[in-house]
Structure 1
């Protein structure tokens, strides 16, 4: 698919602007973030969503012990971003999560991240370590299913890159490719075995492109095999402190799109710009009966979770709407604050295909770089 001409991109930007909600009155499901129906001018939200325009995740308060213990808190090792699917083979929930080798923290995720497999008999855990599936360097695991074969697909970034026992990182990691390249492994079972990861799938941008670095893969595989690969793009060198609010001329990190006839490629980029007009990362893409959705980690202050929606997977709302904040409401009426709450990933009920739980990587306020994996129930 060739790059879209400027006129087409301008039209998409106009549609994207129109998709962003303003007043609470609605005329169609688009005004309800495609997460509810417009009934007599008012949004009737799905159970998982609330607010005048159905843009707020309807999260269930957590027990204090559940928030502190997490779904996966493996000894003193840092974990960051988890996907979970249920397997009828062993009646277990299977988690695939990024975990740092050598008790390192997020401060040296390149090159110390690896992909871990953990299981639990219940969705909320605690999940127990099973094995290290892919050693350093592998990060950003995103689990999905091939609709054509039923095989499980584990997308991630990485390649062979030795860990550093002293937890030293790689300078300017965000400014170079290193091994932050999107690859995929497949398996007929969540129990494995998993194939050797593929060669890099999505081409990096040119040295002066907005998406020189391509990372954070999140695919939607359509029934005909066409794959929409959403990813985070960043330029070769940038200073995050220079972006005041991540909009307009300061948009230096956001979500891009690559498309292929098959999940193994070849991938082309239909646009030479991000699909969102707001600064976001960590996209989690999914499709339901109304359209397409993105849940993301926003780069605003505080670090909120953002949501975007699209009728076709191409033209999107701005990505500025806040789905949830960084803090967690507890059942005793208090809240717990986290230094970071990122990598949003949803679990869907296998029968209804409705979201029931939100997984995040969280950093306690009294730690710098240490993180664990938390799960919070969504109203159903």
Structure 2
């Protein structure tokens, strides 16, 4: 089936833009550029609570959104850890912030606004055309008392909440929509007001509209039917097929290590399944090539999200976003943005920047 990422005709198969390999299951990643993405881990960490600075702050993936009114401005909604804490202190120090780039979707991005205070984490943003609103899904609640030192605290259960905005700047108070759930991955259905929402374990819910109940479940894998994954990213392609990009946990399960096999891909013809996990081809791994000719083997590469070309069919993947940690860099983490296929460079040239 070419992972539902291509077409075959007269015994010749072609992958869709952004994909490669014999079964079209691997993202066509191109070299990244050093100094892009969102990386503010190099300065001395601030000893005061986060108040708009970015010195010494770690982040963990995020969603790129093009400004609807300023087409050369791009936003990154990301998890950032306050007080200069690293990834190990994500609970309870994670906050949600908005960063901006005026040099294209690959960045670099710079802090622009605090969106949600600690403890909030795992943000994903989509535009609901039916509601003319941005929908921000996240876990946590922004009223958690913080300790005096950067240390992990158990906060349970994980709950998913929703906030809305007309412009990415003014946000409503968050409203809890699911209990005992994490890793929200929404996708508005083009046929109306319905919102599909994938969560951890690739369970998929369907709400009649963004402010309705998210309890209805349209797909839940049987125990043991899928490999161990987390951090789903859900989308629907131009043919109407469904896809999930996930953090594949096979090396954690088999060897107690964070990689290198980290990028998994699932696909289905219908939202309710059956969903197929591609166990032949990795979507990506922990090796990152840079356009200066160097490569880096990352210690961790998680939280996958795609930025699509909003023109034409709006489903050509242009950039992959991940939360990453480099080996030997302690607790620091940052947000990597890597171009996909030839379309990424064409898109950037079209911006005229």
TM-score class, shorter-chain normalisation, is 0.7 to 0.9
How far 1:56 moved relative to its partner?
0.4
Alpha-carbon shift at residue 202 of structure 1 (Å): 2.1
- 2:264 corresponds to: 306
Report how many residues are paired.
Answer: 309
For 1:49, the equivalent position in structure 2 comes to 19
Query: 1:35 aligns to what?
Result: 5
For residues 318-346 of structure 1, give each alpha carbon's deviation from its aligned partner in whole angstroms, at most 9, with x where no partner exists: 25441011111233544211110111111
Where does residue 49 of structure 2 map in the other structure? Answer: none
CA distance in 2, matches of 1:317, 1:149: 32
Among candidates 260, 268, 274, match of residue 207 of structure 2 = 260
Given the two structures, how large is their TM-score scaled by the length of structure 2?
0.83
SS at match of 1:133: strand
How far apart are the structure 1 equivalents of 2:209 and 2:222?
A: 22
Match of 1:72 among 31, 38, 50: 38
Which of 238, 241, 244 is matched with 1:294 structurally? 244
1:271 Cα offset (Å): 5.0
Is the contact between residue 280 and residue 319 of structure 1 (CA under 8 Å) also seen in structure 2? Answer: no
Aligned to 1:157, which of 112, 117, 139? 139
Unaligned runs of 5+ in 1: 1-30, 205-213, 233-253
* Residue 235 of structure 1: aligned partner: none
Q: Is the 8 A contact 2:204 2:220 kept in 1?
A: no
User: 1:83 is matched with which residue: 40, 63, 70?
Assistant: 63
Q: Is the 8 A contact 1:257 1:274 kept in 2?
A: no
Partner Cα distance (1:103, 1:289) in 2: 42
| Gap runs ≥5 in structure 2 | 41-54, 252-258, 344-353
CA distance in 2, matches of 1:99, 1:116: 7
Residues 298-318 of structure 1: per-residue CA shift (max 9 Å, x gap): 102224111111111121112
> The residue matched to 1:53 in structure 2 has which SS?
coil
Partners of 1:271 and 1:309 lie apart in 2 by 13
SS of the residue aligned with 1:155?
Answer: strand
RMSD: 1.8
Using structure 1 for the length normalisation, give the TM-score: 0.77
Partner of 1:166: 149
Contact 1:102 1:165 in 2 (8 A): no
1:76-100 deviation per Cα after TM superposition (whole angstroms, max 9, x unaligned): 1110011011114234101100000
Work out whether 1:279 is the aligned partner of 2:228. Answer: yes
Between Structure 1 and Structure 2, the one with more strand by share is 2
Partner Cα distance (1:274, 1:334) in 2: 43
State how far apart, in whole Å, the 1-side matches of 2:10 and 2:250 are: 34
Kept after mapping to 2: 8 A contact 1:292/1:312: yes
Q: What is the CA–CA distance in structure 1 between the aligned matches of 2:222 and 2:98, rounded to whole Å?
A: 32
Residue matched to 1:6: none
Supply the distance in 2 between the matched residues of 1:332 and 1:274 (Cα, whole angstroms): 46
Paired residues of 2:186 and 2:195 also in contact (CA < 8 A): yes
3-state DSSP of counterpart to 1:110:
helix
